[in-house]
Each structure stands twice: as structure tokens, then as C-alpha cells.
Amino acid sequence: MFEHVVIGQYLPGRSYLHKMDARSKLASVFLLIIIVFMTNTWAGYGLLWAGAVLVYLLSGVSFRYIRKGMFPIFLLIIFTFILHALFTQEGDVLVSVGVFTLYEGGVEQGLFIAFRLLLLVFFTSLLTLTTSPIDLTDALEQIFTPLKRFGVPAHEIALMMSIAIRFIPTLLQETEKIIKAQSARGADFSKGTWKERSQAFVALLVPLFVRAFKRAEDLAFAMEARGYNGGEGRTKLRKLTWTLRDSAACAAVVIFGICLFFFRS
């Protein structure tokens, strides 16, 4: 059942993008999303694609993984393209077959929308392909720390997220173990009536929850025994470091955005 499960997309590596600070990557992706939404001309999209190719080369990620990440959205993109191509009636008529007439404006509109979706999914998947969830969590914690003044428990939220990420492999192993143990006792997860199957799942879930609650309690004891008492003044094992590389990347994205602004119609 879980043999082929790969949770998350992150691919470890040593490329320029991998070595960037998670904070600068988050900021750059955020800016790029705004830039993608701003663009509305062929020249602008041409430049954006050039930028995307450059970022792709800097990421060192094989195209296979990007294609895999983008596959679920692909149908949606084609669907949206067809909708626009068929229903926008502007410009010259290109082709006319039966009741369907393809206008130049419709094709252009459809391509723009498809490009926008592709670029958005491309940039955001590169972020998760080159940044580990734990680094992203640390970055989010730092970004949201100023909100502490308004009562947002940034440290606690980051702690819970880190623990969840850390224990996902452990919980996954435990799930596999319980599946095997219950199968040995005769539980069948893939056959039987609807009622039998949901009972088999309950036989999996109950021990899983019991173990998870027990583990939470044990971990709380262990943390207290080591003197954990909240966020104030805690030091960190993993430190994010902002280097010249990050400043350069952010500056490049800002300059790129300013250039593209002049290509708007």
C-alpha cells in the first residue's frame, strides 16, 4: 500500500538554487508570481520564458521531475486554453469548422492564460523541488516573527511544523508495520464489502492514533526533562544564512520585474 509513496518533492542537490537561503527563494518566488500576473504582451511572455529557462538551468533539477510535478495541472491548462480559444471572439477569423469559429484574439488569449498557469506552476514547483520543507519552515518562522506582536505564535507554529515533518517518515513506517500486523491477523484492506473494508481501516487507524498520542506524551516529557519552556531566548541548531548569492538573486528578480514592466501594453 505504501511501497511507492514518496512524500514531498524535494530533491537534494548542490546547485545555485539549492544553496540559496530559503528566505530569499520565498521572496523571489513571491515577486515572480506578481511579475507573471503583470505580464500581458508577447514580448513580456518571451522574456519570462527566457527567465524561466535561466532559473531552470541554475536549479540543476532534471526536467523529468518538473514534468512529473506539472502533470496534474496539465489537463486543466489545456481545458482552459480550449475554453478561451473557442469563446473569445476578437480579431480576425483564423479557422471556421461547423459551429466553431477560431478567432485570432481567442488563440492569443488562450495562449496567454496557458503561459501564465505554466509559469506559475513552474516557479512554485522549482521552489519546493530545491528547498527542503524544514528550511521553508524556518524561513516562514522568521518571516512571521514580527507578527508576534499581534499574538501570532510564530515559534510554536514552526515547532509543530518541524515536529510533524520530522515524524512523517516515522509515522509512515509505523503505518506499514500496523498494516502488516493486522493483515497477519486477517484484516483485508483491498477486498470485501464496504462495511468490512471500513472496519479493516478502523483496525489500522485505532492503533495508529493510540501510538501517535502516546508518542506525543512521551515527547512532551522528554522535552520538559531537557528544559524546554517556550520560544523566548532559544538558540537554533540550523541557522539560515543570507549570502551575496541571495542578495544577487533578489536584485536580479527586482530588475527583471522592472524591465518587464516596460513591456506591458
H or E element in which residue 100 lies: strand 100-103
Q: What is the rounded CA–CA span in Å between residue 265 and residue 261?
A: 9
Q: Is residue 228 a contact point for another protein (CB under 8 A)?
A: yes
Cell of residue 202, nine digits: 478502523
Binder among 41, 67, 156, 264 for another protein (CB under 8 A) = 156
CB of residue 100 to another protein, shortest distance in Å: 14
> Which residues from 66-85 bind another protein, rule CB under 8 A?
69, 72-73, 75-76, 80, 83-84
Q: Report the residue count for the chain.
A: 265
Binder among 113, 240, 252, 254 for another protein (CB under 8 A) = 113
Binder among 33, 38, 154, 252 for another protein (CB under 8 A) = 33
Q: What is the DSSP letter of 149?
A: G
Closest residue by Cα to residue 77 from 119, 30, 124, 35: 119
- Kindly write out the interface string for residues 191-220 of this chain, putting x where it contacts another protein by CB under 8 A and - elsewhere: -------xx-xx--xx-xxx-xx-xxx-xx
Residue with cell 505504501: 2
Residues 118/52, Cβ–Cβ less than 8 Å: no
Q: What is the rounded CA–CA span in Å between residue 207 and residue 132?
A: 30
Nearer CB in complex with another protein: 150/248: 150
Q: What is the DSSP letter of 147?
A: G
Nearer CB in complex with another protein: 229/244: 229
Phi-psi group of 171: left, alpha or beta (phi > 0 → left; psi -120 to 50 → alpha; rest → beta) = alpha
CB of residue 212 to another protein, shortest distance in Å: 4
Closest residue by Cα to residue 42 from 95, 91, 107: 107
Q: Is residue 120 a contact point for another protein (CB under 8 A)?
A: yes
- Using CB under 8 A, list all residues that contact another protein: 1-2, 5, 7-10, 33-34, 37, 69, 72-73, 75-76, 80, 83-84, 87-88, 109, 113, 117, 120-121, 124-125, 128-129, 133, 136-137, 140, 156-157, 159-161, 163-165, 167-168, 171-172, 175, 198-199, 201-202, 205-206, 208-210, 212-213, 215-217, 219-221, 223-224, 228
